[in-house]
Amino acid sequence: MRAEPEDPRQTLQNLKGEIDFRAKLARQHVEGEDVLPDYYAKEEHDRILLERVEATSEKMAELARLGVQLSPFLELGAERGQRSLVLTNDFRAAGVAADISYHQLGTLDHFSQVFRREKLPNRICCDANHLPFRSGAFPFIFCYGFLHHFPALRPVIREIFRVLGDGHFYFDEEPYKRVLRVRLYRQRNTIYSQATLKKGKYRRLVESFISEPSSDEVEHGIIENEDIGLSEWISALSVFDERDVNLISIRNVTSKLGDRLRFGNMSNLLLGGTISGLCRKRCALERLARPQVSDLLACPDCTLESTSDIFDRPPLVKSLAGFRCSVCGVTYPERDGIIFLLPRPELEELYPSLAASAAGRS
């Protein structure tokens, strides 16, 4: 019997592209440098982030009214962490802002002052393919515009499902595949450039159906997977016990994503758009009353046998040099309040100077 092919995953080059690009974003949006001339300048970026802060506060209040336990939380792809700042300060929630980019996580000190939310979440630099948390660690996991940076949904959703306890996973601002699209040419200007933004909205709409966009992210090697079909979304999210998933297309054409494609989704399927959802996992796990971040962390390099069909990872112990795994003996460093929990080979490739200094202290 032929084995099923494994789902594709991000490569080291993709991860290096993420880190390189987001380091430039940090310089542009904190220091005001003009390193990405086709991207938002500092002042415009601050305005956009403030809108996101306000929208996040409204959404989290809505989720709380629905009975979602917001603490402890895990935000994936947190970048500048403005949404984690909202939960930590406005809702008094404890949690973790996680991202592959150390430089973006480092901007939380700056943006906490910009948005007058001074209490910081825990910050962890990690790879979502190897989440450094114990199984069932969080009752609430969320992300915005994060899942489409992977070539396939199933591996990252499975990791999210593993570290989610008896609770909810919320995602938003994700694209899904537009069937009515032909790529006749690649647009010359990037999507955030002034040349593109000066075009009329109808021209931009027509071009979105007949061309392929150009972006700084793709030029840096970042995956921008806008061709995730609804069938893939259905399959990947099927691990959850309950799902309330919304599809929104142009002119606010909306429908619900069920367990199969149906006629009611046809307009959204043809037009494409954005997808968001609240997923529920039900399980009998004992929760810690007030867990510390050290209670939730686990080794990204090794796994433990589990009684369930989802593997677990061994816990970490705080040491003078960082956090140490009692199983494999690897010590993971901490710098500027950010904990680096990347598999050792990735740490050496992505942050070589840090890996070398950590090895010298172990």
- Domain segments of the chain as ranges: 185-219, 298-362
- Token output for 23: 């380091």
Alpha-carbon distance of 12 to 6, in angstroms, equals: 17
Task: Residue 227: name the closest of 151, 154, 157 by CA.
Answer: 151
pLDDT at 300: 94
pLDDT at 286: 62
The pTM assigned to this predicted structure is 0.93
Tens of pLDDT, residue by residue over 176-186, are: 998 888 888 88
Pairing of strands 185-190, 211-214: parallel
Contact by Cβ (8 Å): 254, 269: no
Contact by Cβ (8 Å): 27, 42: no
Residue showing tokens 């393919």: 129
pLDDT at 311: 75
Q: Which residues of the chain are under the pLDDT cut of 70? A: 1-5, 285-291, 305-310, 357-362
pLDDT at 71: 95
pLDDT at 35: 93
pLDDT at 197: 78
